[in-house]
Amino acid sequence: MNSPYTIKDRSGIVTGAASGIGRATAVHLARMDARVALVDKDGHGLEKTRLLIEEKNSFSPLVFESDVTQETAVREVVAETVAQFGAVDFLINSAGILRRTAFFEIPPAEWDLVMNVNLRAAFLYCQAVAPHMVDRGRGAIINVASLAGRSCSILGGAHYTTSKHALIGLSRHLARELSSKGLRINAFCPGATLTPMTLNVSSDEEIEAVATTIPRGRWASPEEQAAVIGFLVSDAAVNITGACIDSNGGALMV
């Protein structure tokens, strides 16, 4: 009998796969014997992720140096993934950016950039992948939000917090609309995680200060967050849909 935690012979797409939680998730899913398509604008980072996967697996991932906010590019990635793998069993929307600009100083262009990467991209990929999943009667979509989407961010600006709240709302609505068709759609809300995105905007003093607010006393690693996503993709999570899954070491940001 196969373990419910396996995703052997399944295939899917991971956006934001060049670094951070996206990279860790792509590597983790590949080690669970899934075939993965990697998507990011950072070609150098994608190459490193590809090499990490090939070190531990006998197969190579698909690699797409692509803009996740552009509809044509998104549909091309989905079509090529289906053509190469035969199916898209899961979609991990992990692409995201963080800006710390104070509210009164946020330029409209910066607001639009954060919304486009953190929310529009997930919308486009969900819209492109969901019909294929509906036709097959199965599929798992994980939208990587943030603890900031449950309260507010202490590292990002208003645009970051707003985009993550909206991403949770999108996930819950899609679950209501599509769960009866065999799809599982969940939001994943990691807390403080040591990724290039957060480290780029945080001083050593801030990292230490945030750690003191976490009951476990430390930031999470991307690999720890990837393990939770792997569980949500697997059949062990077959009854979980429309949920907002927290992984924050017990922290509550207010």
User: How would residue 3 be classed by pLDDT, with cut points 50, 70 and 90?
Assistant: confident
* 3-state SS class at 144: strand
In a domain? residue 68: yes
In a domain? residue 124: yes
Tokens of 84: 């190469």
In a domain? residue 57: yes
* pLDDT computed for residue 156 by the predictor: 82
**What are 207-250's pLDDT values in tens digits?**
999 899 899 999 999 999 999 999 999 999 999 999 999 999 99
Structural domain count of the chain: 1
Q: What is the CATH number of the domain that holds 116?
A: 3.40.50.720
Residue 135 confidence (pLDDT) above 70: yes
In a domain? residue 111: yes
With residue 234 as reference, give the H or E element that holds it.
none
Q: Residue 125's domain spans which residues?
A: 11-245
* pLDDT computed for residue 252 by the predictor: 67
In a domain? residue 61: yes
* pLDDT computed for residue 244 by the predictor: 96
In a domain? residue 250: no
* pLDDT computed for residue 77 by the predictor: 98
The model's pTM = 0.95
**What are 160-182's pLDDT values in tens digits?**
999 999 999 999 999 999 999 99
* pLDDT computed for residue 211 by the predictor: 92
Tokens of 92: 């991990």
Which residue in the list 160, 184, 228, 249 is annotated as catalytic? 160
CB 29 within 8 Å of CB 252 = no
What is the overall mean pLDDT for the chain?
95
* pLDDT computed for residue 199 by the predictor: 87
The CA-based dihedral angle spanning residues 176, 171, 102, 95, taken in that order and rounded to the nearest 10 degrees: -160
In a domain? residue 232: yes
In a domain? residue 252: no
Of 188, 191, 112, the C-alpha closest to 143 is: 188
What Rg, from alpha-carbon coordinates, does the chain have?
A: 17
Mark whether 160 is an active-site residue.
yes
